[in-house]
């Protein structure tokens, strides 16, 4: 992360739904020689298992010869975040407001501080934010009500106070980014991002990167963002490509064949485009 900040690039943090998604990310990272994160939230943890994710990523890291790390995304409790640390995830996002949207400032700070301390067990980097972050990792039909979401934008003073109170490594900024893919492009407040960068010394991440024009990412990276989360754009490519493949091959019941033939390529193309926007191509350090 220090290298990314010094060299003005960002890690892509790509959600891992299954092995096909992991393969797409690994192939993109190998092709562009880019360092990447793959991440799982509680739903994927429940489905795949923490240790299975750790082992799969380690296997692909060796097979593809890539720089790749694992992030536990939006971990909803202290216990869940500790499980991720113990499983060897290098990045931990503690977000108790995800499970309880009405969590108090004191509860959020206390939980975050506890995970910052516990992460010293492995050296994992801890990410958090002082309030609930809206949207969902899906394709939305409604537009974006910026008057409403601006109420939850980060503020320089709030970011500074939260980082000072918790000791986190990465602050998840809210500047117009929003979980999910919407029918209109997202608009990021880059002036606010610069103010946040001036107010805090730690890393800055952007959640809800899907559906954002690439020029915002390029500017955000130049300002100092070092992690951008992508999920819905990948899921959209996955599903629409699979639907077409199924329609084109009505007699093929080996769905895995279609996923391997068509879907992985489509998701890989999404990942590659993001890595270019994040200026991370060619930045991998392989040990």
User: Would you please indicate which residues are annotated as catalytic (active-site) residues?
Assistant: 73
**Per-residue H/E/C for the chain:** CHHHHHHCCCEEEEECCCHHHHHHHHHHHHHHCCCEEEEECHHHHHHHCHHHHHHHHHHHHHHHCCCEEEEEEEECCHHHHHHHHHCCCCEEEECHHHHCCCCCHHHHHHHHHHHHHHHHHCCCEEEECCCCCCEEEEECCCCCCHHHHHHHCCCHHHHHHHHHHHCCCEEEECCCCCEEECCCCCCCCHHHHHHHHHHCCCEEEECCCCCCCHHHHHHHHHHCEEEEEECHHHHHHHHHHHHHHHHHCCCCCCHHHHHHHHHHHHHHHHHHHHHHHCCCCCCCCCC
Helical (H) or strand (E) element with 3: helix 2-7
Helical (H) or strand (E) element with 74: strand 68-75
Residue 6, classed as helix, strand or coil, is helix
> What are the CA-CA distances from residue 234 to residues 139, 229, 230, 271 (Å)?
11, 11, 7, 8
In the predicted model, is pLDDT for residue 132 greater than 80?
no
Report pTM: 0.94
Confidence of residue 39 (pLDDT cuts 50, 70, 90): very high
Confidence of residue 287 (pLDDT cuts 50, 70, 90): low
Question: What is the pLDDT at residue 248?
Answer: 97
254: tokens are 């080996």
181: tokens are 């893919």
Kindly tell me the sign of the dihedral angle through the C-alpha atoms of 67, 68, 69, 73: positive
Q: What is the mean pLDDT of the chain?
A: 94
- Greater confidence (225 vs 101) lies with 225
In the predicted model, is pLDDT for residue 134 greater than 70?
no
Q: What is the mean pLDDT of residues 249-276?
A: 97
Kindly tell me the sign of the dihedral angle through the C-alpha atoms of 171, 219, 177, 159: positive
């Amino acid at each position: 992360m220090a290298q990314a900040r010094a060299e003005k690039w960002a890690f892509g943090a790509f959600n891992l739904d299954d092995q096909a998604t992991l393969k797409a990310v690994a192939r993109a990272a190998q092709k562009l020689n880019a360092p990447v994160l793959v991440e799982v939230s509680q739903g994927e943890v429940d489905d795949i298992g923490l240790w299975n994710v750790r082992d799969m990523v380690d296997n692909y890291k060796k097979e593809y010869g890539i720089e790749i790390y694992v992030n536990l995304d939006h971990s909803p409790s202290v216990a869940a975040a500790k499980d991720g640390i113990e499983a060897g995830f290098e990045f931990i996002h503690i977000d108790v407001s995800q499970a309880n949207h009405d969590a108090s400032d004191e509860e959020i700070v206390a939980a975050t501080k506890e995970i910052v301390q516990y992460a010293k067990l492995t050296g994992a980097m801890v990410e958090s934010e002082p309030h609930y972050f809206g949207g969902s990792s899906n394709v939305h039909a409604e537009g974006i009500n910026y008057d409403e979401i601006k109420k939850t934008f980060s503020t320089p003073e709030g970011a500074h106070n939260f980082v000072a109170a918790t000791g986190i490594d990465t602050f998840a900024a809210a500047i117009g980014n929003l979980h999910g893919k919407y029918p209109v492009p997202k608009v990021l407040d880059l002036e606010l991002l610069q103010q946040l960068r001036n107010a805090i010394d730690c890393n800055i991440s952007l959640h809800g990167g899907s559906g954002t024009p690439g020029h915002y990412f390029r500017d955000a990276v130049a300002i100092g963002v070092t992690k951008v989360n992508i999920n819905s754009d990948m899921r959209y490519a996955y599903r629409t490509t699979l639907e077409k493949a199924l329609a084109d091959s009505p007699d093929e019941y080996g769905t895995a064949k279609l996923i391997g033939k068509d879907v992985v390529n489509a998701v890989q193309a999404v990942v590659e485009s993001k890595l270019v926007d994040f200026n991370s191509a060619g930045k991998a350090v392989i040990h």
